[in-house]
Amino acid sequence: AQSVTQPDIHITVSEGASLELRCNYSYGATPYLFWYVQSPGQGLQLLLKYFSGDTLVQGIKGFEAEFKRSQSSFNLRKPSVHWSDAAEYFCAVGRHSGGGADGLTFGKGTHLIIQP
Amino acid sequence: NAGVTQTPKFQVLKTGQSMTLQCAQDMNHNSMYWYRQDPGMGLRLIYYSASEGTTDKGEVPNGYNVSRLNKREFSLRLESAAPSQTSVYFCASGRGSGYTFGSGTRLTVV
């Protein structure tokens, strides 16, 4: 079965500084990988996803992520964070069964705090 | 652009009461899912449905039942609510490289 580990429960970053959120996954084949963001009391917003091709993926709000098969990682980066980036971030891995439902397995999330 | 619609958005139940969470999608997706979100736990899969008429258990199915009424609708039922079922519930549809999530139902069981 697939699994996702987000090693950092909380991360504090100064506004304007760079950000990297870590994500490691376990899956037997090439995975579909996702990053979602959730503001307090809100639903999930898709930041970006990887399913094939270029291993560096660009997303919305200036985020990018790099798929590294050798490290089973899909870390999320942003060169300069804004106060509005404070939120909960979830990494997820999707299986592709070739038929029927797939579904996503989520990490436990990383809470991002932005210091002024 | 409705996508996935969940009702209600908020609900308070007393222990032992029953209720059904409704979910409908207009994406023409075959697959639908119910997740629960708890602090520090991420989202965990409760049940899923690969197509109309089929349902399967996910990671945390105990205390829940589901019905795939038709291609559009996938409901989640709590027969006898318990405080441990206090959570935020998300419905989703899709598969492979694309999923659409509803805005969630915040359920409190007292």
Please give the pLDDT value at position B2: 73
What are the pLDDT digits (tens) for A46-90? Answer: 999 998 888 999 999 999 999 999 999 999 999 999 999 999 999
Q: Which residue of B has its CA nearest to A96?
A: B96
Nearest to B42 among A94, A101, A107 (CB): A107
Confidence of residue A95 (pLDDT cuts 50, 70, 90): confident
Confidence of residue A100 (pLDDT cuts 50, 70, 90): low
**Cβ–Cβ pairs < 8 A, chains A and B:** 64
Please give the pLDDT value at position B97: 77
| Terminal Cα distance for chain A, rounded | 41
| Phi/psi of residue A41, nearest 5 degrees | 70, 10
pLDDT above 90 coverage of chain A, percent:
78
pLDDT at residue A99 tops 70: no
**Region at B59 (left for phi over 0; alpha for psi -120 to 50; beta for the rest):** alpha
What are the pLDDT digits (tens) for B36-51? Answer: 999 999 999 999 999 9
CA distance A29 to B59: 21
Please give the pLDDT value at position A97: 65
Rounded to the nearest 5 degrees, what angle is found at the Cα of A5, between the Cα atoms of B102 and A55?
A: 80
What are the pLDDT digits (tens) for B10-21? Answer: 999 999 999 999
Task: State the nearest Cα–Cα gap between B14 and chain A, in angstroms.
Answer: 22
CA distance B108 to B106: 7
Please give the pLDDT value at position B25: 97
Please give the pLDDT value at position B109: 98
Task: State the nearest Cα–Cα gap between A34 and chain B, in angstroms.
Answer: 9
- Residue type at position B32: M
HSE-CB at B25 with a 13 A cutoff on CA atoms is 27
Considering only CA atoms, give the Rg of chain A.
14
pLDDT at residue A20 tops 90: yes
Query: From first to last of its 110 residues, what are the pLDDT tens digits of chain B?
Result: 679 999 999 999 999 999 999 999 999 999 999 999 999 999 999 999 999 999 999 999 999 999 998 999 999 999 999 999 999 999 999 988 789 999 999 999 99
Chain A touched by B43 (CB under 8 Å): yes
Confidence of residue A101 (pLDDT cuts 50, 70, 90): low
